[in-house]
């Protein structure tokens, strides 16, 4: 059988298209590169972030605890400005506090400070601290695995995987943590993780005045944030694990989760993720259209998990901008739009545009900026980060969250906000270097 020759003009056209796509993704215009280099806000916020994280690993000035979901977002910065051994020890402490079933706590605090109201757990491997866990959420295990991966990327130190706690290495304990999610938080019908009902990535359920612990009033559900975080964690783990059998198993699981997330949570008609799949019933009124809500945070983590195409990421960013305008907010760190009406959460802090219900969080907005950069959308990323830089400088601090009117709320020295902005700046600088 004779092979047909592909016309040269067609080959040339294909080559030009591929080259165009590569340049579109990887190259920043000289004009934008120069603008960023000359933007003193970039350098000021970078220095401020580095100075803040030198102070340690607690989440912020109003937190006595080291939280893994926060540490995961500033671990790279911590390794840059502190002795990396301190970052390593912070991560190892979470493994020392790991439950026998493989679960990972939210955070830990010195025993003498364990008085806040959580149910605390102790461990013989870390006798000086007490652990706590907000069980409504399903991101603690994924956050720790991601943080270990980032630590290794930042330091090149793979020895952490061989550290032994009891009879098991960290690498084995990472697998234990992921198996906990499959054993205790996995729904067979949908092939996805479940948790309690919360607002997007939040850890407050609507049925209780505080709302951080699973109880008989909880409404179990599946959402995009938990599952996207797990996919990222699995992908991170398989890139550093050494046992091929483990790698093969988890790669297969990642693909399964990816497919099931797109199948069950992505609303192709509305080009958005649905907020929740309820495993029984919803805690909200029957006439409430929850799918009108657009979750910014979960969508961003889905970008990082590879669940959205570049075109879909572009569309998501445009929708986030429209939401910011409609909410009269300042940045794409807006958690969601529209918000849950007043009274839908018993926790009074979760009223309209309060805390995780429509607050503006740089902690997630900065991660959106990172994904725009990673996908070659440099102009959009610079546009998105600019108001975040402005308010850090104006208020001389990395606040935990902001009202739509730009009023600072929560911790004034929130390291998660510092970490995501710092990493965004590093990504800008890396891409500028590639152009020179």
Identify whether 402 is part of a domain: yes
Q: Confidence band (pLDDT; 50, 70, 90) for 164? A: very high
CB-based contact 409:403 (threshold 8 Å): yes
Q: State the total domains in the chain.
A: 1
Please report which helix (H) or strand (E) contains residue 277, including its range. Answer: strand 277-278
Rounded (5°) CA angle 198-93-413: 60
CATH of the domain at 395: 1.50.10.10
**CB burial string 350-367: b at 16+ within 10 A, e below:** bbebbbbbbbbbbbbbbb
- The pLDDT tens digits for 79-132 are 999 999 999 999 999 999 999 999 999 999 999 989 888 999 999 999 999 999
pLDDT at 433: 82
By residue range, what is the domain housing residue 126? 30-428
* Furthest C-alpha separation in the chain: 81
Model confidence, pTM: 0.94
The average pLDDT across 312-328 equals: 98
Residue 345 lies in a domain: yes
Q: Residue 8 falls within a domain, yes or no? A: no
Residue 11 has pLDDT above 80, yes or no: no
Does the pLDDT at position 23 exceed 60? Answer: no
SS (H, E, C) 266-282: EECCCCEECCCEECCCC
What the block records as the tokens of 53 is 């994280």
Measured CA to CA, the distance from residue 304 to residue 107 in angstroms comes to: 24
Domain contains 326: yes
In the block, tokens 């959009």 appear at 380
φ, ψ (nearest 5 deg) of residue 133: -150, 130
Q: Is residue 129 part of a domain?
A: yes
Residue 396 zone, left/alpha/beta (φ > 0; ψ -120 to 50; rest): left
Q: Domain for residue 3, yes or no?
A: no
Neighbour tally for 312: CB within 10 Å: 17
The answer to whether residue 256 sits within a structural domain is yes
| pLDDT tens, residue by residue, 348-390 | 999 999 999 999 999 999 999 999 999 999 999 999 999 999 9
Q: Looking at the domain assignment, is residue 14 inside a domain?
A: no
Q: At what angle do helices 378-395 and 30-37 cross, to 10 degrees?
A: 10
How many Cβ atoms are within 10 Å of 384's Cβ, its own excluded?
24
pLDDT number for residue 417: 98
Tens of pLDDT, residue by residue over 245-295, are: 999 999 999 999 999 999 999 999 999 999 999 999 999 999 999 999 999
In the predicted structure, residue 239 carries a pLDDT above the cut 70: yes
């Amino acid at each position: 059988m004779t092979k047909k020759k592909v016309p040269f003009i067609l080959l040339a056209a294909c080559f030009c298209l591929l080259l165009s796509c590569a340049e579109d993704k990887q190259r920043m215009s000289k004009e934008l590169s120069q603008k960023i280099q000359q933007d003193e806000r970039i350098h000021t916020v970078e220095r401020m972030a580095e100075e803040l994280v030198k102070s340690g690993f607690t989440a912020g000035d109003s937190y006595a605890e080291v939280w893994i979901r926060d540490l995961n977002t500033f671990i790279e910065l911590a390794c840059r400005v502190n002795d990396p051994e301190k970052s390593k020890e912070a991560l190892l402490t979470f493994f020392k506090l790991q439950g026998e079933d493989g679960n990972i706590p939210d955070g830990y605090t010195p025993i003498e400070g364990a008085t806040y109201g959580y149910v605390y757990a102790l461990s013989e491997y870390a006798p000086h601290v007490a652990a706590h866990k907000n069980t409504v959420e399903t991101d603690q295990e994924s956050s720790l695995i991601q943080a270990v991966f980032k630590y290794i990327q930042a330091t090149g130190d793979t020895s952490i995987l061989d550290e032994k706690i009891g009879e098991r290495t960290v690498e084995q304990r990472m697998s234990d943590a992921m198996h906990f999610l499959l054993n205790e938080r996995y729904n067979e019908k949908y092939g996805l993780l479940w948790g309690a009902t919360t607002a997007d990535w939040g850890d407050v359920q609507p049925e209780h005045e505080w709302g951080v612990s699973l109880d008989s009033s909880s409404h179990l559900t599946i959402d995009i944030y938990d599952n996207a975080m797990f996919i990222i964690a699995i992908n991170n783990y398989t890139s550093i694990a050494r046992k091929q059998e483990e790698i093969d198993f988890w790669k297969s699981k990642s693909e399964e989760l990816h497919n099931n997330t797109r199948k069950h949570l992505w609303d192709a008609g509305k080009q958005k993720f649905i907020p929740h799949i309820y495993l029984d019933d919803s805690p909200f009124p029957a006439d409430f259209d929850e799918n009108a809500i657009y979750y910014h945070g979960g969508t961003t983590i889905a970008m990082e998990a590879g669940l959205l195409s570049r075109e879909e990421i572009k569309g998501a960013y445009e929708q986030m901008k429209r939401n910011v305008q409609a909410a009269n907010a300042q940045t794409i760190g807006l958690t969601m739009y529209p918000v849950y009406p007043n009274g839908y959460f018993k926790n009074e802090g979760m009223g309209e545009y309060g805390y995780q219900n429509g607050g503006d969080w740089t902690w997630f907005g900065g991660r959106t900026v990172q994904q725009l950069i990673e996908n070659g959308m440099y102009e959009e990323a610079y546009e998105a980060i600019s108001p975040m830089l402005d308010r850090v400088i104006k208020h001389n601090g990395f606040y935990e969250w902001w009202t739509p009117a730009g009023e600072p709320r929560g911790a004034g020295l929130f390291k998660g906000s510092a970490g995501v902005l710092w990493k965004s700046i590093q990504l800008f600088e890396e891409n500028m270097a590639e152009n020179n």
